Amino acid sequence: MRTYINTLLESGEMRIVEREVDGRFELAAVTARSQRESERPILFRKVRGSALPVVSNIFGSRRRLCDLIGAKDGSFCRRWTELMRQVGQDLPGFSNLAGLADFEDLKLSDLPQITYHEKDAGPYITAGIFLAKEPETGVLNLSFHRCMYVSDAELRVRLGTSHHLTRYQAKAEGASEALEAAILLGPPPEFVLAAAAPIPYDESELGVVGRLAGAPIPMRRCRHLDLEVPAETEIVIEGRFLPNVRRPEAPFGEFLGFYVPQGNNHVFEVLGVTCRRGATYHALVCGSPEDLRLLELAFATQVYQHLHAILPGIIDVSCIPNIMNIVVKIEQQYEGHARQVLLSALGVNHDFGKSCMVVDEDVDINDLNDVYWAFLTRGRADTRVFTIPDVPGFYRDPHKDHWGRLAIDATVPFGRKDDFVRKSIPGADRLDLRDYFV
């Protein structure tokens, strides 16, 4: 992450806040306002009460995510799929780095204490990536889970019901044992991408990191756990999930834009915090572009891989404004093709994808205005929309507000492409307005 932050500083892309900000609301407020007008990452040099600077919105840009994996044509899904196919290149080189000379011990309360939303229960760690071992097989998993700060010895963690870490913890708990885990804050970006992505249960997510990095990644041993972590990680919190203990966690402002109510969640006993000298803390505003782009990369690639395996003409997939809506770009092959895509896409994930829209290759799938324009201009409203009633949706849905699915075919009627050629103004895309306006 440090190398990446330096690259963003050198290119001038990083926005820098020199004045001191308050970790309670002010940092999140500045980030949210900046994200309304720009995709630029932000460095806060001074956060009250902590010696560590903070970065935010590092991953809040499709372009930067594409650059990180070398997706030259702008299709994250296609490049990701190519990389994941490169079997045999797993773990290309994790080299051990025994020395801990560059690290110092901290307390949790030495880290920036950031409270994001008005009704949040307290300060939260939102960009923490859990690295843990499957209790029986030792397979390694990486995943994001929000952590509520309680004291220097305790965090409360939200483990979604279907996640791998949840299953690891349940297995350990079944044997009345604690599950050890390290929380990585600011690991190399490949770990961030692998943590967001859903990988089969029996596959190590470090394998994915290896395929993405393509170069040796130095690892170091934890101080308190039988685990190795990427040595370049800015901050590592070591600890363990206590078996058979649940305590109140939340409210917290989640990615759909609401507060999740308080519930009994997992308790993580903190055994130690180590930090590289000169470390920077990563703060991520839930539901902001940084969160939504990471969630999108995970879900859109899943949908793309599924569709690509069973149907022709799949070009790309996005999730705008968030993972509850899937947009698929296709090159139509036959009459009814778009409807088959809709049916298949809506079945990929039982939690997300409440609606799906299919468009032709000339539509910008990262712009909801353009996608909706396609629906409004390319055919009938009555026959190109259908719903699938009574299907359960998002797991946190006691009132069934997310039940049912909506499918929208926004493609040109098959065989009539020539009737729908988009008009253009020659030169409009290429000229530089600075040549015209003073």
Ligand X SMILES: Cc1cc2nc3c(=O)[nH]c(=O)nc-3n(C[C@H](O)[C@H](O)[C@H](O)COP(=O)(O)O)c2cc1C
Could you list the residues that contact ligand X (CB under 6 A)? 141, 143-146, 158-160, 163-165, 196-198, 284, 291, 294-295, 298
Least Å from the CB of residue 251 to ligand X: 13
Q: Which is nearer to ligand X, 206 or 356 (CB)?
A: 206
Radius of gyration, alpha carbons of the chain: 23
Percentages (nearest 5) of helix, strand, coil residues in the chain: 25, 25, 45
Least Å from the CB of residue 163 to ligand X: 3
Q: Which is nearer to ligand X, 70 or 160 (CB)?
A: 160
Q: How many CA atoms lie within 13 A of 238 on its CB side?
A: 17
Least Å from the CB of residue 423 to ligand X: 39
For residue 170, how far is the Cα from the chain centroid? 24
Q: Which is nearer to ligand X, 65 or 159 (CB)?
A: 159
Entry field: residues in the chain? 438
Q: Which is nearer to ligand X, 79 or 282 (CB)?
A: 282
DSSP bridge pairs for 326: 356
Q: Which is nearer to ligand X, 186 or 341 (CB)?
A: 186
Peptide bond preceding 321 in cis form (omega within 30 of 0): yes
For residue 353, how far is the Cα from the chain centroid? 16
Least Å from the CB of residue 85 to ligand X: 19
- How many Å apart are CA 191 and CA 168, to the nearest integer? 19
Least Å from the CB of residue 201 to ligand X: 8
Q: Within 10 A of 376 (CB to CB), how many other CB atoms are there?
A: 10
Q: Within 10 A of 259 (CB to CB), how many other CB atoms are there?
A: 15
Q: Helices marked H in 110-229 — which ranges?
A: 164-174, 189-196, 205-213
* Triad 168, 171, 176: Cα angle to 5°: 125
- How many Å apart are CA 287 and CA 113, to the nearest integer? 19
Q: Are 148 and 121 a contacting pair, CB within 8 Å?
A: yes
Least Å from the CB of residue 1 to ligand X: 15
Q: Which is nearer to ligand X, 132 or 356 (CB)?
A: 132
- Listed in sequence order, the residues at least 6 apart from 246 whose beta carbon sits closer than 8 Å to its beta carbon are 264, 265, 266, 267
Least Å from the CB of residue 147 to ligand X: 8
Query: Which letter does DSSP use for residue 47 in this model?
Result: B
Structure-token pair, residue 294 = 């990471």
Least Å from the CB of residue 280 to ligand X: 17
Nearest to 77 by CA among 401, 309, 290: 309
Q: Which is nearer to ligand X, 146 or 354 (CB)?
A: 146
Least Å from the CB of residue 120 to ligand X: 13
Q: Which is nearer to ligand X, 46 or 171 (CB)?
A: 171
Q: Which is nearer to ligand X, 198 or 218 (CB)?
A: 198
Residue nearest to ligand X as judged by C-beta position: 160
Least Å from the CB of residue 161 to ligand X: 8
Q: Which is nearer to ligand X, 157 or 371 (CB)?
A: 157
SS3 317: strand
Q: Are 337 and 330 a contacting pair, CB within 8 Å?
A: yes
